[in-house]
């Protein structure tokens, strides 16, 4: 009787060991599957930054007072902005701008992966302003005695410098000055700015009485 009990006990231990091995195999397989799922999920394709397909100005060069139309097309962005007063815009569209000076517009497209930018410049060509000589006169266009006084007077606008030759030199935009030529003399006023120069002349004639 004792021998039979021992045999049964040994058989029971063997079965228990087999079950433990089976459970361990299933647990190991389950653990491996969990790890594989986790790895696959973590190594998925990360989101990419937006794509700016196009960003342009229909008139990259304009003159003062004119306009240019900015056009753009963006994909995979959650927000799109354009600086210099334009603000938030749709993924694609256009807007009219009228800069008074040369301006670079920067488009920024953003999503969770990051931001990307593109820029376009609208050049504003300033129309040259010509100085205007409103008047240039001599109070006495004819003097009868050499050395007699004649007053030159002038008025100029849109100039950065004004000069009169024959020893007078630089003068204000408006003013008067006395001249006493001994011979007939032509005085030339030159008005200049950064773009252009204009001139006007007046002659003081010295007529000697015999």
pLDDT digits (tens, 9 = 90+) for 140-162: 999 988 889 999 999 999 999 99
Looking from the CA of 41 toward its CB, the CA atoms found within 13 Å total 6
**Cα–Cα distance measured from residue 51 to residue 73, given in angstroms and rounded to the nearest whole number:** 9
Domain that holds residue 68: 51-125
Strand, helix or coil at 4?
A: helix
pLDDT in tens, 47-69: 799 999 999 999 999 998 899 99
The Cα 141–Cα 171 span in angstroms is 21
- Characterise 37 by phi-psi region: left (phi > 0), alpha (psi -120 to 50), beta (else): alpha
**C-alpha dist (Å) from residue 92 to 41, 107, 201:** 33, 11, 60
Looking at 95, 125, 155, which one is the last position of a domain?
Answer: 125
Of 108, 125, 142, the position where a domain reaches its end is 125
User: d(Cα 209, Cα 146) in Å, to the nearest integer?
Assistant: 10
Residues 138 and 191 in one domain: yes
Assign 181 a pLDDT band (cuts: 50, 70, 90).
very high
Report whether pLDDT(126) > 90.
Answer: no
Considering the chain, what is the average pLDDT of its residues? Answer: 86
H-helix or E-strand containing 99? none
Tell me if 84 sits within 8 A of 144, measured CB to CB.
no
| Number of structural domains the chain divides into | 3
68-75/197-206 β-pairing: unpaired
């Amino acid at each position: 009787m004792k021998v039979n009990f021992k045999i049964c006990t040994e058989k029971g231990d063997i079965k228990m060991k087999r079950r433990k091995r089976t459970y361990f195999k299933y647990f190991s397989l389950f653990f491996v599957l969990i790890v594989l799922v986790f790895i696959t999920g973590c190594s998925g394709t990360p989101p990419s930054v937006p794509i700016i397909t196009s960003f342009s100005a229909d008139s990259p060069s304009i003159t003062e007072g004119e306009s240019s139309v900015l056009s753009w097309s963006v994909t995979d962005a959650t927000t799109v902005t354009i600086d210099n007063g334009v603000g938030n815009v749709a993924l694609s569209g256009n807007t009219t701008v009228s800069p008074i000076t040369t301006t670079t517009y920067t488009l920024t497209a953003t999503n969770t992966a990051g931001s990307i930018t593109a820029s376009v410049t609208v050049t504003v060509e300033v129309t040259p302003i010509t100085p205007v000589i409103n008047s240039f006169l001599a109070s006495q266009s004819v003097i009868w005695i050499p050395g007699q006084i004649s007053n030159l007077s002038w008025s100029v606008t849109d100039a950065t410098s004004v000069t009169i030759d024959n020893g007078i030199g630089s003068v204000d935009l408006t003013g008067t000055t006395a001249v006493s030529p001994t011979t007939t003399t032509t005085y030339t006023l030159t008005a200049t700015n950064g773009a252009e120069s204009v001139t006007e002349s007046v002659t003081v004639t010295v007529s000697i009485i015999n």
